[in-house]
Amino acid sequence: MTTVLLHGLGADRRQPLDLFTPAVHAVVGPDELVIAPDIRAHGGFLTVGEPADFRLDRLAAEVAASVREAIEDAGEPAPEASAPLTIMGISLGAALALRIALDDLLPIERAVFVRPSFSDQSLPEHLRVFPVIGQILADAGPAGIDEFRERAIFQHVVSVSPAGGRGLLSQFTAPDAARRAMRLVEIPRNRAFRDDAELAELEPRGIRSLVIGAPRDPVHPYALAERWAAGLRAPLVELPARDDGLPVQTSLLREGIARWLAHTRA
């Protein structure tokens, strides 16, 4: 069995490994092959490329190719010759997991979408802050963090969620942030799905889904998690807000995933 873990915008493979691996091992066992690739211009994927390289379909194809390579390197059979995969993604990672499943880039059996932030709209209101950060990084580098703190778009996020504001500021301190600023400008322009009817295509294909969201998250609106769950006909786990305590949120997220994995494997 193999589980694929996908990180969010501006993070790297360590994010989903830290968050999801305890739940996966608790249910499936320590022998499960866990693959967590870095997305283009993140972590160890040093290449930035051109704006078109950040189209969601291209990123999904790159991720799928990385997964196949990792499975081969581990000496495991190709995905089509073994059991279907479980895929889990956070925010951008959720959007990529969805495209991989919808476009049949890998044989997927289970999918977990955590704090989805992408929809059928290009550059929705809640993602417009990222191109702002990207432009400031391109113009001023990490030193532009002070300018960003003064922007109304940042002040709005902080007024709703101080934890969300700290997450945005971390984009300035991410490794090689200025050189990789294009990712923040281009990726939010993507649509994760065409419409709700496209979301509904997963269930008839036997792909079981779980959606996880939390309130008071300006970048990952809970209403969008509700929309994903309704479209996918999937259960929805509501976590407490990050501002009410990240350790509690993390613990409940892992519990929710472990419970769902156990149920879908029964």
Structural domain spans, the chain = 2-122+191-264, 125-183
Question: First vs last Cα of the chain: how many Å apart?
Answer: 15
Say whether pLDDT at 84 is over 80: yes
Q: Tens digits of per-residue pLDDT, 132-184? A: 999 999 999 999 999 999 999 999 999 999 999 999 999 999 999 999 999 99
pLDDT at 266: 74
Structure tokens at 220: 């990952």
User: What's the mean pLDDT when you consider all of the chain?
Assistant: 96
Residue with tokens 């532009």: 144
Contacts of 74 (CB under 8 A, 6+ apart): 33
Which whole-number Å values give the CA distances from 231 to 60, 120, 176, 236, in the listed order?
21, 12, 37, 11
Backbone phi and psi for residue 40, each to the nearest 5 degrees, phi listed first: -45, 135
pLDDT at 175: 95
pLDDT at 163: 97
Q: Tens digits of per-residue pLDDT, 235-254? A: 999 999 999 999 999 999 99
pLDDT at 227: 98
Q: Could you give the CA distance from residue 128 to residue 87 in angstroms, rounded to a whole number?
A: 27
Residue 82: pLDDT band by 50, 70, 90 thresholds? confident
pTM higher than the cut 0.95: yes
**Per CATH, which fold does 2-122+191-264 belong to?**
Rossmann fold (3.40.50)
